[in-house]
Amino acid sequence: MNVEQARFNMIEQQIRTWEVLDPDVLALLSEVKREQFVEPANESLAFADLELPLAHGWAMWQPKVEARVVQELAPQAHESVYEVGTGSGHLAALLAKRARQVTSAEIHPDLLERARTNLQAAGIGNVTLLAGDSAAAPLGESTYDVIVLTGSVPVLPPAFIERLNPGGRIFAIVGDAPVMKAVLVRQAARGETRTVELFETLMKPLENAPQPARFRF
């Protein structure tokens, strides 16, 4: 496989056609080598328009989804990012290239160590990895400019908004199968948020995600 040609085709045929046109994001997809983050058995599929399996039923997002999320969140060089669900570490690497610091929490120790290895191999030094369950709130006490949840939640837990700095953004996939929507939540001032629906999708739920009260008839 001609890796650079495959990468070029991915960007031109998948990414651009999905409303990802920010030249900095497109350049980022060439800078961060996706093939370094996939499982060895799936290396030939690194640039395919597919979710690629990881352990515990999780998967790397399609390239176009990762690119769209980075474009919508638009992390800046002075900003801090919190990621729920590290997975392979690829999305954390993309965000880390744009932001000052990324903190990423992963509930599965084997995925966390795999991501650590991937990030070190890629020379990404501004990602802090945390082991633990972050489905209901960020670990620790810090606040962040950008928060991204890599699994779906029935509703967005309010603790994430509470830990968002003014001007901050959250990406989340909200809802229950078969109807889930990717949303971008912006906080203009503390407690004042605006939500924009980006696209419809289906995503594995975060383990231990808080469940809303259900009406019984």
The per-residue pLDDT for range 7-55, each reduced to its tens digit, is 999 999 999 999 999 999 999 999 999 999 999 999 999 999 999 999 9
Percent of the chain at pLDDT > 90 equals 93
> Mean pLDDT across the stretch 73-87?
98
Task: Using DSSP, state whether 179 is helix, strand or coil.
Answer: strand
Identify the pLDDT of residue 188: 85
Nearest of 150, 152, 148 to residue 211 by alpha carbon: 152
Domains of the chain (ranges plus CATH)?
Answer: 3-201 (3.40.50.150)
pLDDT tens-digit readout, 136-149: 999 999 999 999 99
pLDDT tens-digit readout, 115-167: 999 999 999 999 999 999 999 999 999 999 999 999 999 999 999 999 999 99
Helices (H), 10-141: 23-31, 63-73, 90-98, 109-121
Record the pTM: 0.95
- Strand 164-176 with 52-53, pairing: unpaired
In this model, does residue 6 exceed pLDDT 60? yes
> Mean pLDDT across the stretch 96-122?
98
Write the burial class of residue 78 (CB in 10 Å: 0-12 exposed, 13-18 middle, 19+ buried).
exposed
d(CA 86, CA 174) in angstroms, rounded, equals 18
